[in-house]
Structures are given as C-alpha cells and as structure tokens.
Copies of this chain bind each other. A is one copy, B any other.
Amino acid sequence: MSRAFNFSAGPAALPEPVLRQVQEELLEWKGERASVMEVSHRGQAFIDCAAEAERDLRELMGVPADYAVLFMQGGATTLSALLPMNLASPERTADYVLTGHWGEKALENAKPLLRTNVAASSRESSYRSIPARDQWRLTPGAAYVHYTSNETIHGVEFPGVPDVGDVPLVADFSSNLLSRPVDVSRFGVIYGGAQKNLGPSGLVIVIVRKDLLGKHGRDLPPIFEMQNQARNDSMFNTPATFSWYVVGLVLKWLKAQGGAAAMAVQNRNKAELLYGAIDGSGGYYRNDVDPSCRSWMNVPFVLPDAALDKPFLKEAEATGLLGLKGHRALGGMRASIYNAMPVAGVQALTTFMADFAKRNG
C-alpha cells in the first residue's frame, strides 16, 4: 500500500511532510509528555502554538493590524449565518452575488437574519460565468456585499477582487485561501473552512476588520458574538485545538514553499496543464466554464457519455488517482488541485486522461 494522489474537494489532500510530523509527535508533543490533542488550550504550550499559527497566517496573507484573525469552530456554512448576525441589524440590507452553489447557501443562511438582495447571479447560465461588474445592482448603503471567491462545485473563481466602493466586501474563500496573493485591505471579511487548503475539517478561519464587529445592535447569545472571540484570541470557548495545530503546520509548510506568490505560480501551472488536457482532447473531455473565470482549484469536467464515468473512476483509482467523482449536483468529474497537490499529481491525471480517451474514444 502507498499514498495516492487525492483529488477530493474537501476534506482534501494535506502536505505529506505535515502528516509525517503529526504522526511523529502524536503521542508526545513538544516535550509536553502528552499529545497535542490532550493538552489544555489554556496551557502555555498550546497558547504559543496558536499564536504562532496566527502570526504565520498574518505574514503569509499580509493581514493589516486593524484586522482580527479568528480560528473558530465550525465551517464556512456556520459563518454564513454568524456573519449576518454580527455585521448588521435585521433592518439593514446585504447584497449577495451568486456564482454557484455556495453563494446560494450563504444567501439562504442570511435570509432569516436581515434583508437580502441578489445583486447579481449567473444562475440562469448554470453558473458558468461571473456576471459583469457593471451589471451588478448593488444597494446604496448596503451593510455588506457577499460573494464566493471560488465556487468549489461549479469551478468558477474570481480572477481578482471586485470593486464595491466603500461597502464592506465579505468573501467566502474556503476553497482558495492562500492559493494566490490577495490584498486583504480590500475586504471587510475573508472567511473559509480549513479543509481545502489548510487542514482538517471543523475549523474556520475568519479575517475581519475589527471596526465591523459589535455594531449589530442585536441581543445575541454570547457564544454567537464574534467580538467575544476577537477579544479572547478565539478562546472564548474551547477551540478545536488539534485542527488549529495542524493548520499551523500547514502554514509553516506554505512559508517554506515560498508563500502565496509561489503557490500562485504552481497553481496556475497545474490549472493550465489540466485545462489544456481538457481543451486539447478534441472534445472528449469538456469544461464549460467561461475561460476568464475558470477555477485554479476545482476543475469539473465531463466525459462524452455518462456511461463512461464508472470505468473512468474505477481505472483512475486503480492508477492511484482518488476523489475524482464530481459533485452530485453536476455529475461528471471534478479534480480539486489545492496547494498540497503536487504538479506530478496533475501530470499523472492528464496522462491517465489521454490514455483513457484513446482507449475509449
């Protein structure tokens, strides 16, 4: 047995050196004579570990000092409900830009909490594009504008940061956090589940401009008040310590790789390789996303006949290529090629795809 190339959408592949370190120190961590899973979050060893992860994330993303960085329990879906509560009163309006499944979900979680307006949506074109910025119907004085930086299922990614003027921009970065440089100062909030580019599931990273918190005027349960997490270094309650520790190791690995800029080069190369194989297959494989917003992280594609899906997946698995089954909403295939996926993995995939097409053309 040996490790395969894992194209799962999330939970997803982690860097092997990180897993090896976790394995090595699993029973005795940093001279603590206990596992990192077993030590108190109030003990100095864990406090140091947590603070170091935050420092590394701030450095890697260039987070300005007036932003809080939170490591919270849950995932992006949890945050898609917590954020509306924390950013605005129920009477205010928030704008949502929909470019896929997760934007829709975020909107559903916001609807009971404040007024929402769909400022733009590419739903009618089956989420294969991003609505042109000059078509967005933004609400003057909106509480915030929400969008999904990368749609994991539909494979649609914003190539840059949209300009919405002075209204705080709130973005779900779950599936492209730290996959390329981003100017954090353009945002009110960046949030994302850890389980794609950063670590195990069950932890969500929130980067929030501090002045946006605590002004909602709601009577919230203290555990839902994000200000409480910001004031307590994300330890208002017991955090997901093990996941936080793993994220810390992944951040160290990212720094050693050269950070977001180096990742961007590699991610672009991997994406070009894979889209090239699809587009160059003479129509055998197909990805219908507008090339200007094709995701570098998640590449959905279909075969000429859905009857070929099963043999494709079976042979891929036998070749050591895992997790290629597409989301049930779209069918077909999806290759998630996050930071931890090496170029060699994408090369192995494209080689297999060419061979499969030849044998089943």
Contacts and interface: CB of A to CB of B under 8 A. Distances in A.
A1 interface: yes
A85 to B, nearest CB: 9
8 contacts: A3-B28, A10-B40, A11-B38, A37-B200, A73-B78, A77-B238, A80-B223, A201-B239
A75 interface: yes
Interface residues of A, number: 70
A211 interface: no
Interface of A: 1-4, 6, 8-14, 16, 19-20, 22-23, 26-28, 31-35, 37-41, 43, 73-75, 77-78, 80-81, 105, 108-113, 193, 195, 199-203, 218-224, 237-243, 246, 320, 322-323
B14 A221 contact: no
A33 B20 contact: no
A241 B8 CA distance: 14
Nearest to A9: B40
Contact of A12 (B38, B111, B202): B38
Contact of A242 (B41, B201, B218): B201
Nearest to A1: B28
Contact of A4 (B34, B200, B203, B238): B34
Given A2-B28, A75-B237, A110-B221, 15 more contacts: A3-B27, A3-B28, A3-B33, A8-B39, A11-B40, A14-B37, A40-B323, A73-B78, A74-B74, A75-B238, A78-B237, A108-B221, A111-B221, A202-B203, A202-B241
A203 B203 CA distance: 10
Q: Which 5 A-B pairs have the closest CB atoms?
A: A202-B240, A81-B221, A4-B33, A109-B221, A77-B237
A218 B81 CA distance: 15
Nearest to A32: B322
A37 B238 contact: no
Contacts of A4: 33-34
Contacts of A28: 1-3
B19 A221 contact: no
Given A6-B38, A73-B73, A31 B238 contact: no
A80 B236 CA distance: 14
A32 to B, nearest CB: 8
B240 A320 contact: no
Contacts of A243: 200, 202, 240, 242-243
A299 to B, nearest CB: 16
Contacts of A111: 221
A80 B237 CA distance: 12
Contacts of A246: 37
Contact of A201 (B9, B12, B241): B241
A165 to B, nearest CB: 28
A7 to B, nearest CB: 10
A31 B224 contact: no
A221 to B, nearest CB: 4
A203 B243 CA distance: 11
A221 B112 contact: yes
A75 B14 CA distance: 25
A53 B283 CA distance: 45
A106 to B, nearest CB: 10
Given A2-B28, A38-B14, A202 B73 contact: yes
A81 to B, nearest CB: 4
From A31, A73, A77, A221, name the one whose CB has the most chain B CB atoms within 10 angstroms: A221
